[in-house]
Structure 1
């Protein structure tokens, strides 16, 4: 399927339909469109301008908070966003630029947009952003496992010849390509669910179908065990597919969520970096040409937005039931404390950081339990800026790499090649010789902690050596071409204390509904990927931001 640079809504839906047809899942199409499209527009819930003189505090300037502010502004609310970062917005959308022209950059946070994630595309179109294809995999991807190299050929032959002999596999497993082994284990449990039940995989409900509860109880590893795979096959598949192997002990509902919504088919990236999405929201707040963003709303009826960068909320207090909520925030620079009263609050920060905020009074016991127990997974990313793209040389092992990724059993786990030369895929012409940025590490859970917590110099040394061995390069080769390096260990980032929410077995059924419910008599609403049905994706954060704004609109209209 040929990639379209800037797909229209009609083209996106056609692509989704084609992928579902290829998977014999056409019956899921209406459910996907309904679930992944933007919620009801806030102006259909309350009149424009009706929120004048009503104050709203938003805790967190990530993408959930920004989308909530964008929507609330339509009704005229007075909005204040508290963001702990002094010089940045966007939360875990974090693009690092290596040059002042912002041509060379590495994505330390969210980096790709599936064709099916229609809420993200809604804002991309509305805010005038440009996209290009994100190349998920190519035949030039390589594997380096137990000191053995293999290429990512479509039949899996290279892996069978070079990697299989290192593992204790049954005779049947030895004769089956690895992708088929993986799919044979994963797909039957999804296919046996009816379309109506399947959609609950990404829904937030007070009660789930018994089959969803059963699925939630299983870990990724349990899925492979139930399929009868040997220990050797499970170990091998975990190394070949780090996005599975790193999460062996996570609820399988997370795996099926990404399969159900086609998260790794027909992917895109935002031109110039993912940070352009939160920046586009920011510009819309202060652009004098408001008609560009709100064409049907008179400017004088729009709300105002105040952005308090460098202010960390330390206390949330409600002195009387049904009364206003007071936020106490600390200026990160001079440590001064400020208090401000609001009619409503939207809390978008992860539960991992909310855990450290003083709550007076405490939330409901069920919510407090969710805040304490909801699981967050670590992620470690490193980006390296090179004066030459060694991965694009014609003689590199497995061939020139113009996107895609490679995997290893070393702690770096996986690395990702830039997609900015994707137009040279299957081209007789060589890409231009220029500097480039390699996402030299992208790992999760244990390896993210083990590699990410090494001392800085030791960390770089280890990564350089592992990149060399993965690509069969001589020792020291990387040191001679490396211009700059940056990394982030999301567990150690103070404003997230984790990479993203990811359920442990049973947590969807236990916590998903209660985590999303309001507190303080409908005065505090919650948003963010952690209270969504799409953990770790921009789609989930945006959807909950819109939903929180809509809940406030419904509540204040009733009380008005």
Structure 2
């Protein structure tokens, strides 16, 4: 297998192979079968971990403070059955092999996402500083845009040995990946993305206008300027793992993957083959967890918002790390103080989306004056930043994501309600498309989200700053617990914020699988010798330590 997957680069372990091996993920002693494990959060990490722990013969008990699915949130427009707004994750690169394992398992289908300059988008409009450009491919844009794309490719080669490293990842050559990647960690951990492009020979030799276009428009999913302050390591991982390329959306909504997995039966140790996560949880998750503490018996007590307290040998925490100090009263002794530092210093980025349902995909109508579609996928420096179109068929209601923005652009709309956000977006788009009456096509109520305003998230996803590698290393490697004091064992962490690839569901799934191995090991279980798990090879292949 030589196709690209999220194979490292920090920990080059083939999760997709571990998942699909005929030997299974491992086994736990029969006398531990049926024991309960608490999982805090019913998002991608919690549900996938729960499914695999169920197969091992444990009883995962899920706690959810808000909406099932976490940031895989597919909101259905009122009065419809399947017209949706994807408020969280909406585009999933094909390199996310572990995630697509579950997509295939539950029978969900995907299709190409309408990113800029892709065939799925059909056409793209770029509107910067009042200049509007129409394109179907990169070749249709002025030379400056091609210079930007070529300069970034050259910068990756120059500063990160990009082609050599990606070739090693495609070949799943773990030794070679670490040989190239590990020196880059020390070189780039404390330097920003913006530093990377400005200090490169190829990009640094170009004008500020080139960097400005790269920040506003970028190539792939859109502009990069919101990430300019981030550690360059974080951006390198996105590029190396192909996370910004070949993206697809899940038909019917990505939340369907978790809803189906919740009800998916599987061949299990201990449990009948008809067993499901839903069944083991009595058909519904527990309520919000408000306290996690070590009980006098040595077990970990989880208390929900209604006062019910249950004891567990193991607990998996998949919620955003800041909730452990703001929403869940967590016994400090459960984690070492350096780990608390990492959890508290995690920086979350803001993100906002505004969706409307329209009567039909009218944007496909041809403007007789130009011979072009009325509207196109749009990238702009205006308040909307990114506008996407979702076609459900010629005679069916369609969806427009009027605006998808991050950081400062997301904060601009934070105080406003849904209708005001739509008004602002329509006003901005009216400057780009002055003769198109979008409002007349809108049906029902808009659907909006600002993740930083949700008390259950406090932000959309992690955005590591320079110098945060050590913090990420502490969180990511916490599933290896043999050397921890007894009072710190048995509580595990997972989620994309614990991973090396925040904002991508693959990171949530991979850290969930790390936690599955850790919990299995905690219960005295082992992986098969012919299908060694992440914890079995971590000492040899784990992330380099900067200390």
- What range describes the TM-score normalised by the shorter chain of this pair? 0.7 to 0.9
1:107 is matched with 86
Within 1, Cα distance between the matches of 2:240 and 2:212? Answer: 24
**Is it true that 1:451 corresponds to 2:399 in the alignment?**
no
**Secondary structure of the equivalent of 1:480?**
helix
2:153 is matched with 183
CA shift for structure 1 position 545: 1.4
Within 1, Cα distance between the matches of 2:29 and 2:272? Answer: 10
1:77 is matched with 58
Within 2, Cα distance between the matches of 1:153 and 1:122? Answer: 32
2:187 is matched with 214
CA pair 265-491 structure 1, distance change in 2 beyond 3 A: same
The equivalences for 1:104-503 within 5 A come to: 104-137=83-116, 138=118, 140-156=123-139, 158-160=141-143, 177-191=147-161, 195=165, 209-227=182-200, 228=204, 229-241=206-218, 242-284=222-264, 290=265, 293-294=266-267, 299=272, 305-306=280-281, 309=285, 311-320=287-296, 323-330=298-305, 336-356=306-326, 357-362=328-333, 363-395=335-367, 399-400=372-373, 405-418=377-390, 420=392, 432-474=394-436, 477-483=437-443, 484-503=445-464
Within 1, Cα distance between the matches of 2:431 and 2:398? Answer: 19
Post-superposition CA distance 1:214-264 (Å, at most 9, x none): 222221211221121433322222112244112111112222112111123
Within 2, Cα distance between the matches of 1:187 and 1:399? Answer: 37
- What's the C-alpha RMSD, in Å, of the aligned pairs? 3.5
Within 2, Cα distance between the matches of 1:123 and 1:153? Answer: 33
CA shift for structure 1 position 344: 0.6
Within 2, Cα distance between the matches of 1:134 and 1:95? Answer: 15
The equivalences for 1:38-77 within 5 A come to: 38=18, 43-47=24-28, 51-77=32-58
CA pair 440-497 structure 1, distance change in 2 beyond 3 A: same
Residue among 460, 478, 489 paired with 1:517: 478
Within 2, Cα distance between the matches of 1:245 and 1:398? Answer: 33
CA contact 2:40–2:316 (8 Å) conserved in 1: yes
Aligned residues: 495
CA contact 1:28–1:195 (8 Å) conserved in 2: no
**Secondary structure of the equivalent of 1:257?**
helix
TM-score normalised to structure 1 length: 0.79
CA pair 388-39 structure 1, distance change in 2 beyond 3 A: closer
**Secondary structure of the equivalent of 2:239?**
helix
CA shift for structure 1 position 103: 3.1
CA pair 493-253 structure 1, distance change in 2 beyond 3 A: same
Within 2, Cα distance between the matches of 1:344 and 1:175? Answer: 52
Post-superposition CA distance 1:298-328 (Å, at most 9, x none): 61796862265472111110134x8100112
CA pair 441-299 structure 1, distance change in 2 beyond 3 A: same
CA contact 1:141–1:398 (8 Å) conserved in 2: no
Within 1, Cα distance between the matches of 2:268 and 2:345? Answer: 44
Post-superposition CA distance 1:59-111 (Å, at most 9, x none): 111111111110111122122110012xx311000111115553321111111
CA contact 1:104–1:436 (8 Å) conserved in 2: yes
- Stretches of structure 1 that go unaligned for 5 or more consecutive residues are 1-12, 21-26, 161-173, 285-289, 331-335, 422-431
CA pair 154-75 structure 1, distance change in 2 beyond 3 A: closer
**Secondary structure of the equivalent of 1:177?**
helix
1:3 is matched with none
Within 1, Cα distance between the matches of 2:16 and 2:435? Answer: 44
CA contact 1:412–1:463 (8 Å) conserved in 2: yes
Post-superposition CA distance 1:320-379 (Å, at most 9, x none): 4x810011210xxxxx32211111100000112222122224421111101110111111
CA pair 308-497 structure 1, distance change in 2 beyond 3 A: farther
TM-score normalised to structure 2 length: 0.81
Within 1, Cα distance between the matches of 2:254 and 2:473? Answer: 28
CA contact 2:339–2:471 (8 Å) conserved in 1: no
CA pair 175-56 structure 1, distance change in 2 beyond 3 A: closer
CA pair 232-435 structure 1, distance change in 2 beyond 3 A: same
CA shift for structure 1 position 39: 5.1
CA contact 1:213–1:506 (8 Å) conserved in 2: no
CA shift for structure 1 position 296: 8.4
1:542 is matched with 509
